[in-house]
Each structure stands twice: as structure tokens, then as C-alpha cells.
């Protein structure tokens, strides 16, 4: 039995609005699309909710199209924006499009009977002149219709105005839908709830030019329990590209989500069934300190977006601070992840010669400035409050040269439970 797409979205809290008769359309396999803005070389967590729309659409037996806006990306969508976007050159856009393509391949099946397809609207706009666009598209949509869209009204209401370039964006996106309807038999466009105006411009164009029926469906914009926008960390966007947000930081982003947000997040981002999620929620409610929901989602997404190897590295890195096997996990970390785990902790340098001159661990830690004096160091060791590379130091006479160098140059000193110093031997 085929999965019911609308019902799947409904229980996951991913259904915001859709046109009448959309459910009837989806009784049979159909084609639908979502557009992605190539203004960056990577998609980010904020894009994941709409990517998951396409994932569930395909799992329900329908054919998904991912449109990369090579042409419209040169202009920028005014929806949800308070100011004009900067234009990007064609070379940058092409690089960004390729990055997006690679990421979508981790979510969508591009093989089989309902294989996903990727299209670029630059392919149909590149040969079209301005006058041809006005004759073909502009005459079908009135200015009154365009002015009524929220994306336009909001910008005008803020007093800053809107350029003709951004004002015309809805016509360009509308023509995308028309082109896909005519050439690819695409009858449904999906997106975030802020895209409703642009999407319905497309359905209107299809009705006026072709006399055809096309449909719109949107998902709610993802927000946290406190009403703030989901998808950013303290350092900005959480990207799906490992070179922009490492697997460790990506994993930690989900580990650190608030309990109040997890029921929503796991329904939107996980492929687990309703029953599986409810079981996890029950386990989580009994032992919230174990962060069961956060770990389940962090593991699923890190493996899907990066790899099982990256996931194991991320778990290993996370265990360094609190795990039982921290000694072995610490040795296995690569330098990049090691520095990420201890980002923000004090880092000091000491020469190999100085290290060799130190008679014992007391001299070494005092020389490195981990403790203010040798007396303080001895007292901390007596109180069982000093570790080197996660190994407790029990004797003040331990020899510094016996400490293994992590990645050939680092020593991790710990005083108490949470205070770390990363020593680089140079």
C-alpha cells in the first residue's frame, strides 16, 4: 500500500496549507517540485525541512524535481527579506549549484521508476529576451495581483521599497512552474509557507496561459519553542557541507537542542515511523538527562548527510568530555576535530627542550602555566584533580616525556572536572 503523502505530512506537523483537490491529485503518481536558491555553495539546516518534503513525496510513490535557480539566483527572492540581495556572478552560481546537487543526492533517489530529477531554470531563461518575457508572461498577470502578495506588501510597509528586479521575481518563479508543467508534466509546487504567494503566481500563469490545473502545498517555517528561527548556531548557519560545518559541530548542534524543541524536530527531520518516535519520546521523558531524542536525531542526520565514519568520529569526539572510554577516543581524534572539541579552552605552547628539562609533571604544568605555582600543582595532584590526556595523575613525580603526544604535538591537561588547557609542544 502506497504511503499517503498528505497524512504523512500531517502527523509530522509538516503541513501548512494546500490547494483544494490536491489530495485528489495525489491519489495517482504525480510530479512535484521545490526550488532551491543557489546563493551559497551549500544548503543549510534551514533547507532541510523542504528537502524532507521531497523525500516524503518520493517515498509516497511520486516523482520529485529539485529546481536550482541558476537564473533567479542572480536576482534573489524578496520573500522574508528586508533588503535587496547582492548579485552573484555566473561562475559562483555554477559552483554553488554543483554543491547543492551533491547534497541532494544524499536524500533523493535519482534512479528507478520515480527517479528524482534536477533542473536549472537558467536553461530556459538564458535564451529568453526581456521583450519576449513581457509578451509571454507579463501580460497575463496584473500589477494589482502582484502588489497583493505578502512578500511585496511587507517590503513596501517597511518603507524601504522594493526594486523592480525583486518585484518581478514572482513572475520568474511563476514561469518556472509553467515551464515544468508544460515540459515535465509537473503539477505540484511545494515550499515553505513564505513561498505561498510565489507558488500561486505559477498556478495562476498555468491557468491563464494553458487553461490547466496546477497545485500548491507548503510546510510551516521551522521555529523553536521560544519563537526564534531554527537553523543557526552561535557562529551562523549550520551547513550541510563538511568543509563549512564539520560533522562534529553538526552532531553537537542537534545534541544541544532544547527538550521542548525535540518532538517537532524529530518529526520533521527523521525518517523514523510515528510509533518509533513515540517510543523514543517515552524513553526520553523518563530519563531526559540522557538526551535520548537529541542523540537519536543527531546520529541519524550526521550519518545521512556525512557518513557512518564521520558519525563515529563525532560520537568519539563528544565522548571525550564525559565518556568512559575517553582515553582511547582522544588518541583516535584527528587534529582538526581535536581542536574543534577544545575550541575556546586556553592553549599554550612549550618547546621540546623545556619539556625535556622539566624533572616531573609538577615542573611541566607550572612551566606551561596550567597552574600558577608548583605548590598549587602538587596540592591538585594530591586531591586527585589532575589528568593528562584524560589519565589521572597520581604521583607528582610522573615524567613529562612519558606523556603521549596527541597528533604528535599536543598534550591535554585537565584540572578538576571541566577546566582544560591544550598544550602544544613545539
Residues of the chain with CATH 1.10.240.10: 232-341
Cell (9 digits) for 268: 520533521
Is 232 flagged in the annotation as binding?
Answer: yes
Determine contact, residues 231/301, Cβ cutoff 8 Å: no
Q: How far is CA 192 from the centre of its chain?
A: 15
Stretch 18-42: mean pLDDT, rounded? 93
Q: What is the pLDDT of residue 82?
A: 44
Place of cell 496584473: 142
For position 84, what pLDDT does the model report?
47
pLDDT in tens, 214-227: 999 999 998 888 87
Beta strands, E only, 104-208? 117-120, 186-192
Q: Are the C-beta atoms of residues 242 and 306 closer than 8 Å to each other?
A: yes
What was the pLDDT predicted at 224?
A: 82
Q: Can you tell me whether residue 166 is helix, strand or coil?
A: helix
CA of residue 425 relative to chain centroid, distance: 36
| Percentage of the chain lying above the pLDDT 90 cut | 51
295 is in an annotated binding site: no
DSSP state of 35: E
- Longest Cα pair distance anywhere in the chain, in angstroms? 88
3-state SS, residue 276: helix
Tell me phi and psi for residue 208, to 5 degrees. -75, -35
Under 8 Å between Cβ of 358 and 411: no
- CA 207 to chain centroid, in Å, comes to 36
* Per-residue pLDDT, 1: 63
Percent of the chain with pLDDT over 70: 93
CATH (residue range 347-425): 3.10.290.10
Q: How many CB atoms lie within 10 A of CB 317?
A: 26
Q: What is the pLDDT of residues 376-420, one digit of tens each?
A: 999 999 999 998 998 899 998 988 888 888 889 899 998 888 889
pLDDT of residue 325: 67
Give the SS3 label for residue 37. Answer: coil
Are the beta carbons of 365 and 359 closer than 8 angstroms?
A: no
Domain spanning 5-219 has what CATH number? 3.40.50.620
Structure confidence at residue 115 (pLDDT):
95
33 assigned binding-site residue: yes
The span from the CA of 392 to the CA of 381, in Å, is 9
Pinpoint the alpha helices (H) of 323-382: 326-332, 335-341, 352-357, 361-367, 374-382
What residue spans in the chain does CATH classification 3.40.50.620 cover? 5-219
The average pLDDT across 10-14 equals 97
Residues 6 or more apart in contact with residue 203 via CB below 8 angstroms = 19, 177, 189, 214, 215, 216
Q: What is the pLDDT of residues 298-332, one digit of tens each?
A: 999 999 999 999 999 899 888 887 766 688 888 88
User: What does the pLDDT read at residue 160?
Assistant: 64
For the chain, counts of helices (H) and of strands (E): 21, 13
420 labelled ligand-binding = no
Q: State the residue for C-alpha cell 509538516.
A: 14
Are 218 and 18 spatial neighbours (Cβ–Cβ below 8 Å)?
A: yes
Q: Is residue 66 predicted with pLDDT exceeding 80?
A: yes
- The answer to whether residue 85 scores a pLDDT higher than 70 is no
Task: Report pLDDT digits (tens) over 99-125.
Answer: 898 899 999 999 988 999 999 998 998
Tell me the whole-structure pTM to 2 decimals: 0.84
Unique residue bearing C-alpha cell 500561486:
200
Position 45 pLDDT exceeds 70: yes
Helix (H) or strand (E) holding 17: strand 17-18
CATH superfamily of 232-341: Tyrosyl-Transfer RNA Synthetase (1.10.240.10)
pLDDT at 58 over 50: yes
* Grid coordinates belonging to 271: 525518517
DSSP state of 256: T
Domain with CATH 3.10.290.10 in the chain: 347-425
DSSP 220: P
215 in Cβ contact with 187 (< 8 Å): yes
Mean local confidence (pLDDT), 171-183: 93
Amino acid at each position: 500500500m502506497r504511503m499517503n503523502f498528505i497524512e504523512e505530512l500531517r502527523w509530522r506537523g509538516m503541513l501548512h496549507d494546500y490547494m483544494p483537490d490536491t489530495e485528489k491529485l495525489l491519489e495517482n503518481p504525480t510530479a512535484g517540485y521545490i526550488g532551491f536558491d543557489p546563493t551559497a555553495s551549500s544548503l543549510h539546516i534551514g533547507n532541510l525541512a523542504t528537502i524532507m518534503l521531497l523525500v516524503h513525496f518520493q517515498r509516497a510513490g511520486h516523482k520529485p524535481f529539485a529546481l536550482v535557480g541558476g537564473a533567479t539566483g542572480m536576482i534573489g527572492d524578496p520573500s522574508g527579506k528586508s533588503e535587496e540581495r547582492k548579485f552573484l556572478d555566473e561562475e559562483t552560481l555554477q559552483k554553488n549549484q554543483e554543491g547543492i546537487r551533491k547534497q541532494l543526492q544524499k536524500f533523493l533517489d535519482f534512479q528507478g521508476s520515480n527517479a528524482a530529477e534536477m533542473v536549472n531554470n537558467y536553461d530556459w531563461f538564458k535564451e529568453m529576451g526581456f521583450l519576449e518575457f513581457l509578451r509571454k508572461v507579463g501580460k497575463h498577470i496584473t500589477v494589482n495581483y502582484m502588489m497583493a502578495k505578502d512578500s511585496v506588501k511587507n517590503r513596501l510597509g517597511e518603507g524601504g521599497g522594493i526594486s523592480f528586479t525583486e518585484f518581478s521575481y514572482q513572475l520568474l518563479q511563476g514561469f518556472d512552474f509553467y515551464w515544468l508543467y508544460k515540459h515535465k508534466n509537473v503539477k505540484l509546487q511545494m515550499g515553505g509557507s513564505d513561498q505561498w504567494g510565489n507558488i500561486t503566481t505559477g498556478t495562476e500563469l498555468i491557468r491563464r496561459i494553458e487553461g490547466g490545473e496546477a497545485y500548491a502545498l507548503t510546510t510551516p517555517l521551522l521555529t523553536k519553542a521560544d519563537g526564534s528561527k531554527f537553523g543557526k548556531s552561535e557562529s551562523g548557519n549550520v551547513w550541510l557541507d563538511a568543509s563549512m560545518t564539520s560533522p562534529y559541530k553538526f552532531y553537537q548542534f542537534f545534541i544541544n537542542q532544547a527538550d521542548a524543541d525535540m518532538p517537532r524536530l524529530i518529526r520533521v527531520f527523521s525518517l523514523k515511523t510515528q510509533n518509533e518516535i513515540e517510543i523514543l519520546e517515552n524513553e526520553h521523558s523518563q530519563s531526559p538527562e540522557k538526551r535520548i531524542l537529541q542523540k537519536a536525531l543527531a546520529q541519524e542526520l550526521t550519518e545521512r548527510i556525512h557518513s557512518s565514519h564521520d558519525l563515529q568520529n563525532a560520537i568519539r569526539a563528544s565522548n571525550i568530555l564525559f565518556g568512559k572510554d575517553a582515553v582511547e577516543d582522544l588518541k583516535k581524534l584527528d587534529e582538526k576535530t581535536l581542536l574543534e572539541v577544545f575550541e575556546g579552552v586556553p592553549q599554550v605552547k612549550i618547546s621540546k627542550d623545556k619539556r625535556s628539562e622539566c624533572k616531573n609533571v609538577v615542573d611541566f604544568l607550572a612551566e606551561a602555566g596550567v597552574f600558577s605555582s608548583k605548590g598549587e600543582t602538587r596540592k591538585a595532584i594530591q586531591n586527585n584533580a589532575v589528568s593528562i590526556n584524560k589519565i589521572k595523575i597520581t604521583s607528582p613525580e610522573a615524567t613529562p616525556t612519558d606523556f603521549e603526544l596527541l597528533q604528535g604535538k599536543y598534550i591535554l591537561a585537565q584540572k578538576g572536572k571541566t577546566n582544560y588547557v591544550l598544550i602544544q609542544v613545539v
